Amino acid sequence: MLTQAAVAASSAGSVVVRRVGMAQSLPPVKTAQVHQTIGTLSIVKGRTDQQRYVLTGKLTLIGKSKMAGIRLKRWFAPRVAALIYRAEDGYFIAASENAVTIRVNDIVVEGGQKQLESGDVIEVADIKGVFAT
């Protein structure tokens, strides 16, 4: 490819091709490995398109929208009721708007979001699910 580029560019003028190598004096770069487990949500009550969801993406929407990862099947279900997102320190659940109530372990989520722990029971938009990592 370099030869083809040099030939193509030679018709436009002179081309200088240099080899660039790695500097030997630099120490190797150490990278931190973060081990994250994949979360799952098992639906125990309510109508969804599946009974078990593997939360592999950074963001999973809960709602009736066609873009939702957890699709609600209720007639008047909200288009986007809530979202579950993965951060570096774990999974979090957040309401999509103020009118949506989210309960985690029978406690209403205040402040917009809550970090999820393995075994948490989530209730939102007439579904109940158990989160696990």
Each domain of the chain, given as residue ranges in start order, spans 39-132
12-45 pLDDT per residue, tens: 555 455 555 555 555 666 655 555 689 999 999 9
68/12 Cα distance (integer angstroms)? 53
The reported pLDDT for the residue numbered 74 is 82
Q: Give the three-class secondary structure for 106.
A: coil
58/86 Cα distance (integer angstroms)? 5
* The CATH number, out of the four listed (3.40.50.300, 3.20.20.70, 2.60.200.20, 1.10.510.10), of the domain defined by the range 39-132: 2.60.200.20
The reported pLDDT for the residue numbered 36 is 65
2/44 Cα distance (integer angstroms)? 59
pTM for this entry: 0.69
80/53 Cα distance (integer angstroms)? 17
115/131 Cα distance (integer angstroms)? 11
Query: Residue 11: is its pLDDT beyond 60?
Result: no
